[in-house]
A and B are shown apart, each in its own frame.
Chain A
């Protein structure tokens, strides 16, 4: 393998890993606060379709990004209302959100399938982007990828260094104690869910505005679900989320690698790889049940109401 190919693979790995990173960061915050939102796929799709429609009809890509985030947030509000407000089962509510989001995005986007859009272009930073191997990967991406680096930094700082991070984790570990300390448990959880929604919307917008600037039904292809597995894979630790996102990115572009070294494997079989990798990762990491339970936020997925 020559250097050029390797540099291209690294570049594509980060590009492909970016939507996973964005959703997983949002879900990480959400799960740290004790809420399991399985609706990522639905929120991503709705973000993708709204972002695309807005960008195409106004010609303003940034407005598209903004509304993609708002769209994701809007759906997460529904989740928060039913799962937190009405205390419904979080697994079922998340599933409902995904089914709803898939239907809604297909319905809204029916007239927009296959229309061309000039999406975000890569911006190469002079000099830095010419570093061999990692130059293209880190410094010749489009602006949303740079944004994802910044958001990663933000989430890492919040979780590891800030008071807000402590509050989120207190609420996720022991809501009763947190509530007794005077923390507004439901409000913290709602905000975490909304943040997750915005991130999922952004990830969807990244797909439809930068990664493949177009809209197609179900274009997220399970990335929302893979991101959920990613958080488990990362044992709820933020640096591992970053690592995992890019590893999964690599698994999804393995066909480029295969082509590069002259292998010909049917594309449908290669398309299975990220899903197979997800299962393998789940198997490897969940084998030790006690360890998984140690890392997971204690009250993850458990409904909680004040005064019960």
Chain B
């Protein structure tokens, strides 16, 4: 091996934050290389992907619209991951939030009062939290691995949503399209500004950002969660109740993802459709890690991820590239991040090994 790793003995704080940046840069470089191999001008493509979408206010507002659900899901995941509870179920929790919110909105479609929106949002949050709670129940009661159960619940949630959108919630006047009726105006999230689609979900997201920051950095509960994540046994010895913390983390996680889901259907979409989410819940996993499970880091990471979504759409429209670029970059970024994270605990040594090799070779000779 060319590269040898030498333990630093302690975490490098600089690398803790440089590693995500390094990962992003490496992803862009590999992306550029990929585009060059496919016969596109790499700089041109990166421009289409990352800069062109933000040319005007509309672009910026679209960026925020896409960042909102990702941010909400990733904030929730950060709470769970801080406790080392691997909730992979944000996608399902988001879908269930969207489904329950829509069911509520269809029930009260002719309400005029603003309370309609409150009920719709509450239904979404409650359903997301319940879906997360299901994972918590399976884990605390039956010791079932939360990675596998939450993934399975994603598939179940998707099929539930498809069942309802093809069945009970289908718009009777919708020419048999798998879509619900459009929600009443009272249950839609109001727009923040006249142009663009940016909606009041923005305030929810900002509120959640502050709340999760306070929870993780300023509260005893957050401290307990972190201790649980660092050392389960230690947490047990000092009397923190593991089961209760698992429930809490997954309920918060699910509730925020549910909020993201209901924000999509009551916000930009305005009805229940089969494709509520282009994988926001999965993108949030990358975002949570990239943001170092820190609310501020997650804010930046979710903006970057939203930019990738926006750029993917743009590249498909203008350059006929597959939109899956977004997911591809997402995976690359997480991979590079994990690889770069080795530098937090280890110092790379290149020459040393060579020197050793030559001495070995000399010894052999």
Contact = CB atoms under 8 A, between A and B. Distances in A.
Contacts of A89: 338
Interface in A37-61: 38, 42
Interface residues of B, number: 44
Contacts of B143: 286-289, 292
A107 B338 contact: no
Contact of A100 (B88, B334, B342): B334
B277 interface: no
A86 interface: yes
A287 B142 contact: yes
Given A88-B342, A107-B322, A102 B331 contact: yes
Nearest to B285: A95
Interface stretch (A65-73, A156-164, A176-184, A272-280): A272-280
A278 B152 contact: yes
B145 A286 contact: yes
B74 interface: no
Interface stretch (A139-147, A167-175, A196-204, A220-228): A220-228
A229 B145 CA distance: 9
A268 B153 CA distance: 14
B324 A103 contact: yes
A194 to B, nearest CB: 17
A91 B229 CA distance: 14
Interface string B251-293: 0000000000000000000000000000000100110010000
Contacts of A283: 138, 142, 144
Contact of B156 (A97, A217, A272, A289): A272
A222 B152 contact: yes
A266 interface: yes
Contacts of A185: none
A100 B331 contact: yes
Given A95-B88, A103-B324, A222 B329 contact: no
Contacts, number: 140
Contacts of B325: 107
Nearest to B134: A279
Contacts of A221: 155
Given A103-B330, A222-B151, A275-B152, A269 B324 contact: no
A258 interface: no
Contact of A272 (B142, B159, B330, B338): B159
A302 B198 CA distance: 45
A42 to B, nearest CB: 8
A93 interface: yes
Nearest to A290: B143
Contacts of A282: 138, 142, 144-145, 148-149
B147 interface: yes
A91 B153 contact: no
Nearest to A308: B7
Contacts of B145: 229, 232, 282, 286
A232 to B, nearest CB: 7
Interface string B340-360: 011000100000000000000
A88 B338 contact: yes
A106 B322 contact: yes
Interface in A114-128: none
Interface string B61-83: 00000000000000000000000
Contacts of A104: 328, 331
Nearest to B135: A279
Contact of B155 (A88, A101, A272, A286): A272
Interface string A62-94: 000000000000000010011000111101110
A176 to B, nearest CB: 17
A268 B162 contact: yes
B314 interface: no
Contact of B148 (A107, A225, A271): A225
A95 B326 CA distance: 16
Given A96-B334, A286-B143, A107 B167 contact: no
A99 interface: yes
Contacts of A95: 88, 285, 334
Contacts of A222: 151-152, 155
A110 interface: yes
Contacts of B149: 279, 282
A278 B162 CA distance: 20
A149 B181 CA distance: 51
Contact of A99 (B151, B152, B167, B282): B282
B166 interface: yes
B223 interface: no
A225 B144 contact: no
Interface string B84-97: 00101000000000
B296 interface: no
A308 to B, nearest CB: 8
Nearest to B279: A102
Given A107-B322, A272-B155, A278 B328 contact: no
Given A95-B334, A100-B335, A110-B322, 4 more contacts: A95-B88, A103-B329, A106-B322, A268-B159
Sorted nearest first, the 8 A-B pairs with minimum C-beta distance are A100-B331, A103-B327, A110-B322, A106-B324, A103-B328, A268-B163, A86-B342, A96-B334
10 contacts: A86-B338, A88-B339, A107-B324, A107-B328, A221-B155, A229-B145, A268-B159, A275-B156, A279-B144, A282-B149
